[in-house]
Amino acid sequence: MSEARQKKLEHLKKIRVREVSGEDAAPKGTTNTIESMRVKDETIITDMDEDIKGEQDVDEFNKYFNKLTKPKIIMTTNRRPKGKVFDFMKEIDSCIPNIEYYERKNFTISEIIK
């Protein structure tokens, strides 16, 4: 019997044992992920201490990350847009919530932002 076939049979036997006796009878192995294989680095912060909490409270984007404020997103084109730009903008509009489109015409960006 080939090695691949033998592994497949062992795998099916384990599945059958799990179905009959439960997960504890034939525990699954651990999956190697990027996080589980990462080498321990002392510069990575894993627990939140008081200094970090204080810094996060002062962060200017804290309201956005905690969803206390909705960001205002403006979408516009250049002064002479081509046809495919509008198809792309429709796709962007369907993907990003709370986005507003303003026609550019002869306005400058600073005038649109006001």
Alpha helices in 22-104 (DSSP H): 34-37, 50-58, 62-65, 83-95
Instruction: For 38-94, write each residue's pLDDT tens digit.
Output: 888 877 776 767 767 777 777 888 888 888 888 888 888 888 888 888 888 888 888
Query: How many domains, in total, are found in the chain?
Result: 2
Q: Does the pTM exceed 0.85?
A: no
* Cα–Cα dist 60/69, whole Å: 12
Structural domain that includes position 105: 71-114
In a domain, 37, yes or no: no
Beta strand 99-101 pairing with 73-75: parallel
In a domain, 108, yes or no: yes
